[in-house]
Structure 1
Amino acid sequence: MVKIQRFGEWCEMIVPPHWEGYTVDFIFRTIWEAPKKQIHTIRVNKQVLINNEPANWAKPLHSGDKLRFHFFQEAEFGVIPSYSEIEVLFEDDHLLVLNKPAGMDTHPNSPGQSNTLANAAAFHLQMQGENRSIKHIHRLDRDTTGAILFAKHPMAGSILDKKLEERAIKRTYIALVHGTPTKAKGTIREPIGRDRHHPTRRRVSPKGQPAVTHFELIKTYKRENLSLIKCRLDTGRTHQIRVHLSHMGHPLAGDLLYGGKPIFSRQALHAVKLEIPHPFSEEFIVCHAPFLDHPEIFKGIDAYEF
């Protein structure tokens, strides 16, 4: 674990014993896997200090050294800050995890749009006096609910992007589907591409992008002919769970776009848990997302069970 603390625009980290002998260059390039352009900018602007002196990027560090990074600079939000009632699942100086309600886009899809979760996140930071660019690390469909991760400064965003690409960030979803799968658990490995006959629909396609969904049957509701499914994603394709489960013959209840019946006002899909390796402290953060709306969809289900 790395001890971290904020001092104004600077982030201070105490070099832990297992970083003994590392260099600042090694931390940025190998541990954090930061982009070369970002590393260059930080280096030429002298935005790293060692024991309050400009850093020698090639000098070995010692346990107990004080590293300071100029991470918390003021910047344009990138979206229009706009108030919406939101539930914060986790927040520190680097990360923000929000519980997205149904009927809200993750981010603006057109200039001037201000009713998205990203707008609400920017407003949340603004009210705390944090004028910094906010970046979503992954997305949820408009009518899918649950946990979404934001980075509060560019270096956190770069590291988290890499963690997501490397599947170190774990996303767990629950879904109510029609019918009962023949297998209690399994993996769907089917590429997903656009449907040429529909502007927003996706489909399993040999020419699509690779997509991997792990699923597990949790519970069946024989009277309603529904099943509760837990899903874990290795990839994050648009509509991935909806497409894969529909392709398997078990579309989401309420998902009219992919063959579900209109028994609910939206698709029964919720991002119930998010597991995040902290980009700096090396802690492992687990966020559970309670159900905000449409309680009839996941009636009797406890989000903290997953």
Structure 2
Amino acid sequence: MTVPPQADGLRAGDYLRTALPDLPESVLRRVFDARDIKLDGVRISRNDRLTEGSCLKIYLPDSVSGNDTPVSSLSVVYEDDDVLLVNKRAGISVEPDARGGVTLTDLCREFVRRHDPDAFPPAACHRLDNKTCGLCLFAKTPEVLDILQDVFRQRKLEKYYICLVRGIMKPQKAECRAWLVKDARRAKVRVTDRPEPDAKPIITGYETLESGPVSRLRVHLITGRTHQIRAHLAALGHPLLGDDLYGDREFNRREKARSLKLCAVSLKLDTDGRLPALDGRSFVIEPPF
């Protein structure tokens, strides 16, 4: 692979954990110990720094680099002729981004291709952040993709998340409205109480499942904006556990949270009869925390 601009100066071990999310840490450690990773033809260690544009080569054992390894990590929740619903794990991007590496879309397409080499490559109907885990829906035909994109655009669905946040919510249950502004340069968003130029309205509902220094919430994502849950709850004074971008790093360190505690646990669609197998059906998983 070619080292992307965002990886310039990073340690090789840190970058490869992100770029190769399917590779177990034990295998990555073994490959570094065997000096089987080269940067521009020179063997490197996990602490060596990367340079943008350099060629990074990783030589994996046959038992790991075989075709079964990446796709076998795909957790399929539901599949029919129209859709593929998977449980995305944290640390893998839905589509290609600056992080590089294998994407969830890559895994889904390989999964379908193995059963039907001529099949339409599955396409994501919505997105989850790289650090967010949970239910992610893919369409298996162009026609179904159009239908489901229309469903998401018109919000004819219910999406619920489970998350852990700092502190006790007051009130215990609410539907919160605000505006969200994207900052593309910083790859962040910010939440404001009043409309601004380019601001989009957001609505986030929540109910408290467990209260305490760390509270467990069930969140209803009514509008689906970039980083909405993370940014909105942080703006309310209750950042998500494990969120270093919008949250409280000291709190995260104190709680020894090494990952974002946010999982898309429930999805229910209304396709107006266009996909009867999905209409009114609820898909639910348990969060890993």
TM bucket, shorter chain: 0.5 to 0.7
1:192 Cα deviation after fit: 0.7
**Aligned pairs (5 A) from 1:260-279:** 260=248, 261-262=251-252, 263=255, 264-277=257-270, 279=274
Which residue does the alignment assign to 2:37?
none
3-state SS, counterpart of residue 246 of structure 1: helix
- How far apart in 2 are the matches of 1:84 and 1:108? 20
Which residue does the alignment assign to 1:280?
275
Which residue does the alignment assign to 2:88?
100
Higher CA-based Rg = 1
- How far apart in 2 are the matches of 1:119 and 1:284? 29
1:284 Cα deviation after fit: 2.3
1:280 Cα deviation after fit: 2.3
1:276 Cα deviation after fit: 2.2
3-state SS, counterpart of residue 118 of structure 1: helix
3-state SS, counterpart of residue 111 of structure 2: helix
- Higher relative helix content: 2
3-state SS, counterpart of residue 103 of structure 1: coil
**Aligned pairs (5 A) from 1:41-80:** none
Please say if 1:128 is aligned against 2:115.
Answer: yes
1:76-132 deviation digits (Å, cap 9, x = unpaired): xxxxxx636111111100011000001100111269x55111110001110111521
Contact 2:112/2:121, CA 8 A, preserved across alignment:
no
Which residue does the alignment assign to 2:200?
209
1:194-220 deviation digits (Å, cap 9, x = unpaired): 247x61221014321111111111111
1:239 Cα deviation after fit: 0.4
Contact 2:93/2:130, CA 8 A, preserved across alignment:
yes
Contact 2:163/2:240, CA 8 A, preserved across alignment:
yes
3-state SS, counterpart of residue 270 of structure 1: strand
Which residue does the alignment assign to 1:55?
none
Say if 1:162 and 1:120 are closer, same or farther in 2 by CA, change over 3 A. same
1:253 to 241, 259, 264: 241
Please say if 1:182 is aligned against 2:188.
Answer: no
2:105 to 118, 131, 134: 118
Please say if 1:235 is aligned against 2:223.
Answer: yes
- How far apart in 2 are the matches of 1:274 and 1:152? 18
- How far apart in 2 are the matches of 1:259 and 1:174? 17
Unaligned runs of 5+ in 2: 1-69
Which residue does the alignment assign to 1:83?
71
1:114-152 deviation digits (Å, cap 9, x = unpaired): 511111000111011152132111111111100001111
3-state SS, counterpart of residue 211 of structure 1: strand
1:225-260 deviation digits (Å, cap 9, x = unpaired): 011111111211110000110011000011111123
Say if 1:120 and 1:172 are closer, same or farther in 2 by CA, change over 3 A. same
Please say if 1:157 is aligned against 2:153.
Answer: no
Please say if 1:218 is aligned against 2:206.
Answer: no
- How far apart in 2 are the matches of 1:165 and 1:195? 22
Amino acid in structure 2 at the alignment position of 1:237? R
Q: TM-score w.r.t. structure 2 length?
A: 0.67
Unaligned runs of 5+ in 1: 1-81, 299-306
Q: TM-score w.r.t. structure 1 length?
A: 0.63
